[in-house]
Amino acid sequence: MVKMLNLGCGSRYHPDWINVDFNPASQQVIQHDLSQPLFFDSDSFDMVYHSHILEHFNREQGLQFLEECYRVCKKSGIIRVAVPDLEVIVRYYLHYLEKAIEGKAGAAIRYDWMMLELFDQAVRTKTGGEMLPFLTEQSHPPELTEFIKSRVGNYDKEHNKKELYSISRIMNYVIKPAKIYDIIKSHTVKILMAVCLGKKGREFGQETLFRLQGEVHRWMYDRYSLGRALINAGFSEITICSPNESRLEGWKSYGLEIDSCGLVYKPDSLICEAIK
């Protein structure tokens, strides 16, 4: 029987996989902090998969995480990694920079969007950063809406799904009261910082705690650097894949990257597979 591991699954999990996330969205998901060593035995899985997780570690931590993936992967097992594609972001940024300077219609707002893709999730100090209001609070012409969807998927649908995910997380707090302790602890830190250092202390404590929650990007990858990181972790036979293709038989049937209508969840992804 093929044994598959889905790390940092969020709301995308499948019963045929072992699904792991820091904030489980379901009873089918195991709670674990991926900044800590994996609790599985070595040589356990035929495939290890994670999507838009690696960029939330700094480069050194990311390599350690990939080395853990290598450890739990069986010999000849597959790793599949999806991350935001830095190369494509930069190419779009340079393209629309030039077009905006030339005064081409619609180029400036596309340039603004690509700046958000490049920087926002690395520098934000609140959930959603500047990207969320850009997506949800501004009205855009249809051609810009289609451009953004080509980059990030159906963000209206995803926004609604995140709201349901948040409700599920609240239910998990009821089921797992230990998480309530973490919330109380973080608010206590903010209060103490405010008492000791005033407004600046409160702001510093709030931003520090936010950045430790894992939402921000701490590194970015292109096809060269991601392949090199996988090789440095011990993997070989690096292959760039589309969401439709994989070395794993029946990959599409699990719906982890493409929904039942054929829509890609994360069209901005660089996807690599490699072999142990």
In Å, how far from its chain's centre is CA 50? 8
- The pairing of beta strand 73-84 with beta strand 269-275: antiparallel
Adjacency order of strands within the sheet including 45-51: 29-31, 18-21, 4-7, 45-51, 73-84, 269-275, 236-241
**pLDDT value for 80:** 98
Which of the four pLDDT bands, split at 50, 70 and 90, describes residue 193? Answer: low
**pLDDT value for 52:** 95
Nearest residue to 122 via CA among 7, 210, 9: 210
| Domain residue extents for the chain | 4-83+221-275, 86-153, 158-212
Query: How many residues are present in the chain?
Result: 276
Q: What are phi and psi of 41, to 5 degrees?
A: -70, 155
Q: Sort 181 into a burial class: Cβ within 10 Å, 0-12 / 13-18 / 19+.
A: exposed
- How high is the mean pLDDT of the chain? 85
204 has a pLDDT exceeding 80: no
By percentage, how much of the chain surpasses pLDDT 70? 78
Secondary structure (DSSP) of the chain: ---EEEET-TT---TTSEEEESS-SSTTEEE--TTSPP-SPTT-EEEEEEES-GGGS-HHHHHHHHHHHHHHEEEEEEEEEEEEBHHHHHHHHHHHHHHHHTT-TTHHHHHHHHHIIIIIHHH-SSTTTTHHHHHHTS---HHHHHHHHHHH--HHHHHHHHHHHHHHHHHHHHH-THHHHHHHHHHHHHHHHHHHHHHHHHHHHHHHHHHHTT-S----B-HHHHHHHHHHTT-EEEEEE-TT--SSTTGGGG-SSB-TTS-BS-TTEEEEEEE-
The structure tokens listed for 215 are: 């939402």
CA distance 96 to 113: 10
**pLDDT value for 154:** 76
262 has a pLDDT exceeding 80: yes
162 has a pLDDT exceeding 60: no
By percentage, how much of the chain surpasses pLDDT 90? 61
Question: Each residue of 117-143: pLDDT tens digit?
Answer: 999 988 888 888 898 888 887 778 888
**pLDDT value for 105:** 92
Question: Each residue of 224-261: pLDDT tens digit?
Answer: 999 999 999 999 999 999 999 999 999 999 999 998 88
Given the candidates 3.30.470.20, 3.20.20.120, 3.40.50.150, 1.10.290.10, the CATH classification of the domain at 4-83+221-275 is: 3.40.50.150
State pTM to two decimals.
0.84
**pLDDT value for 41:** 97
